[in-house]
A and B are shown apart, each in its own frame.
Chain A
Amino acid sequence: MSVRLGVDIGGTFTDIVLYDETGDRVYTTKTPSTPEAFEQGVVDGIEKVLDESVDVGDVSFLSHGTTVGTNAVLEGELPKIGLVTNEGLRDVLEIGDQTRPELYNLFTDKPPTVVPRYLRKEVPGRLDHLGEEVDPLDEAAATDAITDLLAEDVESIVVSLLYSYLNADHEQRVGALIEEHGDRTAYTLSSDVYPEIREYERTITTVLNEAVKVKIRDYVENLESDLADLGLDTALNIMHIGGGLLRADQAVESAIRTVLSGPAAGAVATQYTSEREGSANAIGMDMGGTSTDVSIVRDGEIIRTTEGEINHLPIKTPMIDLNTVGAGGGSIAWVDEGDALRVGPESAGADPGPICYDGGGERATLTDANLLLGRINPDNFLGGDIDLIVDRTRQLFREQIAEPLGQSVEEAAQSVVDVSNASLTRQIRRVTVERGEDPGTYVLVAFGGAGPLHAVPVAEALDMEGVLVPNNPGVFSASGLLVADVRVDESHSYRKPDLDFDVLNEQFDELVGEVYQRFTNQAFETEKVSVQRVIDMRYQGQSYELTVPVPGETTDRIDEDLLAETEQAFHDKHRRMYGHARTSEPIEIVILRASGTVQSPKHDPSITVEGGTAHRGQRDVHFPETGGVTTNVYERGLLAAGTTIEGPAIVEEASSTTMVPPDVTATVTEYGNLLLD
């Protein structure tokens, strides 16, 4: 009697995946997202699945990917926050890194300031690069600054002072002064949120965290109360950008980590599925309506990073290394003034959408091309008079693309697909090579509504090892929510100018203790927690770091031998990423990290095929090799494990369509995934 629920809010749809352990079956559905109050869409979706299958009391696990934080940052709808910082430095936040986002656009703009200048207050008091006091904190000035900000009715005050990652005394003193003020205004210290070197990044990360926190706190409160009304009494887990889950209250505290949680879940699902299918190296290609998210799994581990950006603002937190490529089903195609065929990155998105969605879209898109090639079944997504809509799509496509190119409609549609694939191929190669990897040693895991239509030609162009189209590719990210582990990350700069093993161990013990504490707070048993120590290192003089794990248990004292092993891992990683290592160079320890995980139970549904034949009939589908050819169409849900399908074929399901080109064989694996070879 156990049901696990994953709910992923996207811009257009909220996806729900339900796994019923008793019946060993998976159920998925989609419901429109409700941007006015996203919790409504979540509740709608949950009601929908519960109606159809199970009782609310059986739900034992609820995991959620939300776009609330992402949207708040992207749309700049952030609360009024005040900043207290050092004398002379209040503009650090606004100057940023002094670059502009686009080189050749005179009308480009820097990222938003987040805290306007009049809400940024300066206080004398200064530490040096060792964390030692140069000038004492001017408490009177700090009190004035606080009084001024409170008079402005700020929702919260961020305190960010130089070198607070080494010595938090001044920040803590300002925090105490805020508390002494006595009107319970919220505040946060950069040394608590992100105790790492580089003042702009620490400040913006702390400010964004605080701003998103205010937004997501309201959302979580509303959602929890709505869920309680439904009768759901299981804890709410929220996916974070690091690919793990946090209990809702901890997610609020680490609010900035909830951005981009949907794509992170897709990467987790990619890792899970490729591992079960016996592939250690996989590239996840999540192709939706407007863009494609690319993630990489190497030797069974998702490639991670500690820095990313959103809306051109840097965010510094351990995260899955996700790359967004401007190609999706809604990518607009046009013939330009020089008669070249162009596809994307401009997208018709969900509104107005492709012509064939009949939602007011009038410009040809990649999805329209797939429809005209017979690869998408118009019955799957069109309401209204299908013949009429297909005719209209054909008509506009002919005018916009086929005639200017001097091609037939089908040739032109194939041209649009080819150009889009060329762009996708180029960008996936770049992302992979940038990380020191060769796509030729990877399998492609293709999902999202459009991924399985484009997987084979892209994988062929990249000379990849094969293609895996998972079960329910359209809601694959949501399924990642069900297999993600609970994950907590703590970190701070190494607080000592030179190497001192006592200090190093002491600082690590403290971090590890904090990680355990966070799990205890979430009511996890300590025995289930596994913690790893990790160090960001660099060769002395470099200005970038690589993250490497410390081998062994967290209780092992780090001594010369253990550090040497860790350094060896750094050299190896440096060689892999950058092609060379300088083994005789001194190495600097920059940031210490501790990451703890508690494994979630992994479901392993076997494929239960309901009665009936998977073969749904035939239709005319165009392939570049054969032209129009009578092609078998299969129902994905009725394909039993072990079934093989010879291309050309089309495999359909509610959320996606898989293209099996001529001379390609699709095999249904024991886990129900499609292997294309």
Chain B
Amino acid sequence: MVSGDELEIFRHELQGIVEEMGVTLERTSYSTNIKIRRDYSCALFDADCRHIAQFTAAPSQVAALLYATPAIMEERTDGLQPGDGFLLNDPSQGGAVHLPDIMLISPVFHDGEVIGFVGNDAHHVDIGGETPGGIPADSTSLYGEGLIIPGVKAVTDWEYDEEMLRILTRNVRGAEMRIGDYQAQLGSNRIGARRYRTLFESYDREGLAEHVDELLSYTEKRVRAEIRRLPDGRYTAEDYLDGDGIDDEPVVVKLAVVIEDDEITFDFTGTASQNRGPLNSNPSTVFAAVMMAIRSLFEEDLPQNEGFYRPFELVTPEGTMVNPDENAPIAATGEITQRVPDMVIKSLAEAIPDRVIAATKGTVVNVAYGGTDPRDGEEYVYYETFAGGYGARPTKDGMDAVQPHLQNTANSPIEEVEGEIPMYVRTYALRQDSAGAGRYRGGLGIRRDMEFYDHEASFTVLSDRSKYAPWGLFGGEDADPARYVIDPDTDDEREVGSKSTNRLAPGQVASIQTPGGGGYGDPLDRDAELVLRDVVNGKVSEEEARDVYGVVVDRVERDIDNEATERRRRELREATPSENDGVAADGGTASSTDTDAVDNVDSEGGDRA
């Protein structure tokens, strides 16, 4: 019997191990991507490949480790030696995010016996292939995206196989940095193995197993209790992505969230079939996306281990874009996994209206530039991702200009980017009126205009959300979708696709205009003072204030005309019959909520801790 204090101490001890793995990896890596942007994760498993602790900087990577570790280790158990290490990024071996995310998994030994596994996953800046960075907008197979590493024994006695390293580094750009990152990954596993062995010795085999059992069932019990607080029902959502970069046709994602007592099934049946272009996602990454939403919706942040995941089932039919065949291109997986959390949350809107938020920007907004720098004649390539609006919330506005859900990477300072590549950032601003109006409005998207001077540049967009807008909830309006524009606000203005590679003539301006977040609640119910504040700050135009919020303001005087506002709001209310039927259904983002779910809301209304 493990007591409540022993359990908590054990949890701290396990967490300390994965934290030290993470800190070691971050500290000793070479790439900015890992070191500063923290694009890595670590995980710990026991001898039965049960997942017992994680250090999560990037949730999709943990899910990949979760799927891949049992898949590649269980069949190899007999031949394992202390100090072994296995490298992989191949989605056919259980799971993987995309090729630049490379996992290293090592067994942990004690007295000649396997007592567990340690693993980490780090995003390498390059993985070879045609496109630097390994995230092409137009790949049609996994082979085109870079080097595939299918779970190979690359480490013996804590040393990389030199011959193997030669293959790995000859296929990628920036070999020296990559070697440094591989070494950092090895150091991380090594410290993890050492710490885990010490822990094992302090508990012995039976004691450790007992504590693991107890920790997993504790976590499971807590998760099931959280699920039980959600009303049973089948909740659905569907949404469209712009297209896959090859065939520019919208593709549908369908989701049913089925809550039965203390279990949830996420069913993607009906989702579009596998795309020719890179808009595909492996089930492990889709799982990370639904867990992202679930963890955010739960009231307490619970330990993350196998026990957490037990009550959930994921259904991703084979051959769909959320479970493609093993050689499908997956570079744009992030577009799917940025959308899925919004959809999970939307589906539950009627069930738990006080805990959900409207749609966020819902896209990664990956942008790349390249060309020959006129200042020194060198080739350059540069990647960035940009923020957008956050969904409005039941009690407050959505955040302006922020990274939502699985994304939380920082921007690059203008003073650094302009030194590195030949362009001027002419505008970096919040987009007026881009948010969905509502009692609480969504966050604003951003606009970034970049002038590429004195040379021809390529401008690649790997993004989405240019055709279908982020939705509002409960009468809140949809936000503005994204726009990707060349020479904005001129006679030559030209909008380009959300997955496209474009040429810029010297002096042309590329403009990224990201989506806002959806609104929550009827804009006519918004506090007029808040509308005034937004008008004064130029976040909402006077026109939108009048036409959408029904608030008549004098921007110069910073005054609300109360009488005119009352009249205006009355007119608007009469013009559109009150739509208090929940999820907004315009903007092309059809939504349905089964009637039995709605019934449940009624019967369980107010049941919120």
Contact = CB atoms under 8 A, between A and B. Distances in A.
Binding partners A and B: yes
Interface of A: 88-92, 94-100, 103-110, 116-118, 126, 128-129, 134, 162-163, 197-201, 335-343, 404-407, 412, 415-416, 418-419, 422-423, 425-426, 429-430, 433-434, 436, 542-544, 577-580, 582
B403 A118 contact: no
Contacts of A129: 415, 418-419
Interface residues of B, number: 77
B11 interface: yes
Contacts of B12: 419, 422-423, 425-426
A112 to B, nearest CB: 12
A385 B187 CA distance: 58
B15 A199 contact: no
B27 A434 contact: yes
SS of A interface (majority): loop
A337 B296 CA distance: 19
B363 interface: no
B35 A98 contact: no
A336 B413 contact: no
Given A94-B400, A338-B222, A580 B183 contact: yes
Contact of A98 (B187, B410, B537): B410
B408 A100 contact: yes
Interface stretch (B266-274, B427-435, B473-481, B569-577): B427-435
B163 interface: no
B297 interface: yes
Contacts, number: 191
Interface string B397-419: 00111111000111101111011
Query: Which 6 residue pairs are nearest across A and B when measured between Cβ atoms?
Result: A415-B5, A579-B28, A117-B537, A98-B387, A88-B427, A422-B12
B79 interface: no
A200 B413 contact: yes
Given A198-B413, A335-B4, A433-B23, 20 more contacts: A88-B428, A95-B387, A97-B411, A106-B393, A116-B537, A117-B538, A129-B419, A197-B416, A199-B413, A337-B222, A406-B3, A425-B12, A426-B13, A426-B16, A429-B16, A430-B20, A433-B27, A436-B27, A542-B32, A582-B176
Contact of A118 (B416, B446, B537): B537
Most buried by B among A104, A107, A199, A404: A104
Contact of A89 (B32, B409, B414): B414
B284 to A, nearest CB: 19
B536 A103 contact: no
Contact of B428 (A89, A106, A118, A342): A89
B401 A197 contact: no
13 contacts: A91-B446, A94-B400, A94-B401, A99-B408, A100-B399, A103-B59, A129-B418, A129-B419, A201-B413, A422-B12, A422-B13, A544-B35, A582-B180
Contact of A198 (B5, B13, B415, B539): B415
Contact of A126 (B295, B345, B386, B424): B424
A552 to B, nearest CB: 30
Most buried by B among A106, A128, A134: A106
Given A340-B8, A580-B183, A88 B426 contact: yes
A126 B219 CA distance: 56
A107 B390 CA distance: 10
B36 interface: yes
B15 A407 contact: no
B402 A579 contact: no
Nearest to B355: A106
Contacts of B404: 100
A417 to B, nearest CB: 9
Given A94-B400, A162-B415, A580-B180, A339 B4 contact: yes
A117 B539 contact: yes
A415 B7 CA distance: 11
A585 B356 CA distance: 50
Contacts of A580: 28, 30, 180, 183
B402 A100 contact: yes
Given A198-B416, A436-B27, A542-B32, A426 B15 contact: yes
A339 B29 CA distance: 39
B225 interface: yes
A336 B430 contact: no
B427 A199 contact: no
B449 interface: yes
Interface in B316-362: 345, 355-357
Nearest to A116: B537
B24 interface: yes
Given A94-B401, A580-B183, A128 B536 contact: no
A548 to B, nearest CB: 18
A92 B24 contact: no
A373 to B, nearest CB: 14
A201 to B, nearest CB: 8
A106 B297 CA distance: 7
B592 interface: no
B218 interface: yes
Contacts of B221: 337-338
Nearest to A416: B5
A99 B36 contact: no
B537 A89 contact: no
B595 interface: no
B8 A342 contact: yes
Contacts of B8: 340-343, 419, 422
A152 to B, nearest CB: 11
A7 B401 CA distance: 43
